[in-house]
Amino acid sequence: MQILLIRHGESKDDFLKEGYKGSTDLQLTKRGLEQVEKMSSYISKEFPPEFIWSSTLLRATQSTEILSNAVKCPVEYLIDLREMQKEESKLDFRLRAENILTAVRERSKHYKRVAIISHGGVITKIIDSFLQLPKEHDVWFHTDNTGIHLLEYKSSIRIIRFSNNTTHLN
CA-nearest of 22, 71, 35, 62 to 144 is: 35
pLDDT value, residue 32: 97
Q: What is the pLDDT of residues 64-91, one digit of tens each?
A: 999 999 999 999 999 999 999 989 999 9
Task: Please report which confidence band the pLDDT of residue 20 belongs to, taking 50, 70 and 90 as the band edges.
Answer: very low
pLDDT band at 114 (very low <50, low <70, confident <90, very high): very high
Q: Is the pLDDT of residue 15 over 70?
A: no
CATH number of the domain that residue 83 is part of: 3.40.50.1240
> With 80 as the cut, is the pLDDT of residue 21 above it?
no
Of the candidates 139, 113, 115, the one whose C-alpha atom is nearest the C-alpha of residue 128 is 139
Residue 48 DSSP label: -
Confidence grade of residue 50 (pLDDT, cut at 50, 70, 90) = very high
3-state SS, 99-160, equals HHHHHHHHHCCCCCEEEEEECHHHHHHHHHHHHCCCCCCCCCCCCCCCCEEEEEEECCEEEE
Total domains present in the chain: 1
Per-residue pLDDT at 23:
62
Quote the mean pLDDT of the chain.
94
In degrees rounded to 5, what are phi and psi of residue 125? -70, -30
Structure pTM?
A: 0.94
Domain that holds residue 52: 2-14+23-169
pLDDT at residue 12 greater than cutoff 80: no
Q: What is the pLDDT of residues 135-166, one digit of tens each?
A: 999 999 999 999 999 999 998 999 999 999 99
